[in-house]
Structure 1
Amino acid sequence: MAQINSCLKRTFIVFNFFFAIIGGIIIGLAVLSQILTSAEEDQSMEGRGMGLIVLYVMGAITMLLGLLGAFGAYKEQKLSLVVFLVCMVIGAFLMIRAGIPAAIARPQVEGILEEKFRDLLPLNSASFQVKHMADTLQTQMHCCGLFSYTDWNDDIPASCQCSAEDEEKYECRMLSYSYLRQGRSIYSKPCFPILMHYVLLLADITLGVIFTLAALAVLGMVLSSIMIHQLRQANRTTILLSVPSIFTPGPPKYQELHNPPPPY
């Protein structure tokens, strides 16, 4: 006999399947990131291994919790629901603890990065790794310099060059002979504002994911708590109160005083 409200049970199962799908999406993103970055062997990709491990672990835990919650609701198993509830409490606490400081630090990201990038100037006298990073940004983002093309002084690399095809798609500018030995068309936009756009977009997406998971964890806590309460109420032994015999009514008083008629 079902002990949990059927509507609540179906809602909780759907919620947990959605939770498991999110875990599968996280694992898929980790696999895609690993494929796209597998060919990169430079020093800028040294930290990708730890990031991929974190994605795999988060995806696996999310998927397993979703399946555990759905199983506990379907079988109306109290132990599975209690484990799910404990995990949701821990998950909500961790998400909120990580999300609030990140949201507070978000407006300071641009200033911190700008200070660090300005320490790399001038680019023409920077290390090989910094030059390689700048060349990669300029090639992929179609920009020149971190804050201006003057970051390279007079040694502007070929990655800044704007071809005839690029002039139709991107903003370019022609440098006069006072800066270079030959006139050259270069990208007019600096790289730092473009880079910051993607950094802040990634930060906003990360904050959205963190607080969305926190909200889902709180919702899971509420639903699982209600179902555990229903299971506890259904398992309680019903106590029937019996009326003591001392209060059993006796025969009417008029029967005691009634005298039968004498026989004839």
Structure 2
Amino acid sequence: MSKINGCLKCVFIFFNVLFGILGCLLIYSAVRATASSIQMSTFGGPGVGWIWVIALGVFGMSALGIFAACSENSLALKIFAGFMVAGMIVMLIFGTIVAVVRNKVKDAIEHGAKEFVNPIMENEDSRALLESLQGPFQCCGVASAEDWGSAIPDSCGCMPDYSSISNCKPRPQGSSGPALIYSQPCSLALFSIADLVFKVTMGFLFGFAVTAVMGLLFSIVMIRQVTQH
């Protein structure tokens, strides 16, 4: 006879299967992110190592949860509950770090800090990304057109008309490139991209912290049911 309530057991296993699938998707995302040459560290954020930690952790915890529920092993359930506590703490720590980094990046962009501008301009992939954004967002450089040095790219070129003539200005003296360039920097456009990543990451981490609390409560109930038999 089963020691754990059948409905509770099925719900617990179902959600662990879902998280197992999510863990596989995260592992795939980690592989893709590792293969990509553009890292979030370019924008002042963490690298992909933490993605591997979370992906393997989610997959491992879901496998442990399924085993503990199917075997109705009190020791496995207690280990699972312990990992849920640790996971909740880790997710809260990571979520707080991401929030702090987001605010740091925002302040750096708003004030045109060199510690933010230089890594972007020194990386070929981030320079290419910046250049691809300049035309659509009608901006030039990260903090200013001077970020490009003496060679202003054609993507900074501004074609004035009656509605946008105020967005144009002459290129800096001593530099080559279009005669008129966009007067606005691309800092806001860059931050809008980075901010989306930061918000999704924070929602993901804090959401997992809440899920860890639910998993802890489920495992505590099942431990009580197993030990009472």
Distance (Å, rounded) in 2 between the aligned partners of 1:127 and 1:72? 47
Deviations 1:14-47 (A, max 9, x none): 111122122112111111123332xx7xxx87x9
Q: Which amino acid aligns with 2:64?
A: L
Superposition deviation, residue 63 in structure 1: 0.4
- TM-score in terms of structure 2 length: 0.75
Aligned counterpart in structure 1 of residue 208 of structure 2, from 210, 213, 233:
213
Q: Structure 1 pair 30/159, CA: closer, same or farther in 2 (3 Å)?
A: farther
* RMSD across aligned positions (CA): 3.8
Q: Does 1:22 align with 2:18?
A: no
Give the conservation status (yes or no) of the 8 Å contact 2:170–2:180: no
Give the conservation status (yes or no) of the 8 Å contact 1:96–1:211: yes
Q: Which has the higher contact order (CA 8 A, sep 6+)?
A: 2
Give the conservation status (yes or no) of the 8 Å contact 2:85–2:213: yes
Deviations 1:36-76 (A, max 9, x none): 32xx7xxx87x99x933332232122101101101211221
Q: Any idea what SS the aligned residue of 1:8 has?
A: helix
Distance (Å, rounded) in 1 between the aligned partners of 2:219 and 2:177? 72
The equivalent residue for 1:260 is none
The equivalent residue for 1:232 is 227
> Structure 1, unaligned stretches of length 5 or more?
235-264
The equivalent residue for 2:131 is 139
Deviations 1:153-183 (A, max 9, x none): 8x4512534499xx9xxx7965559967886
- TM-score in terms of structure 1 length: 0.66
> Structure 2, unaligned stretches of length 5 or more?
none
Q: Which amino acid aligns with 2:13?
A: I
Deviations 1:95-117 (A, max 9, x none): 223334544664454113444x3
The equivalent residue for 1:77 is 73
The equivalent residue for 1:89 is 85
Structure whose CA Rg is larger: 1
Distance (Å, rounded) in 1 between the aligned partners of 2:80 and 2:119? 51
Distance (Å, rounded) in 2 between the aligned partners of 1:226 and 1:177? 69
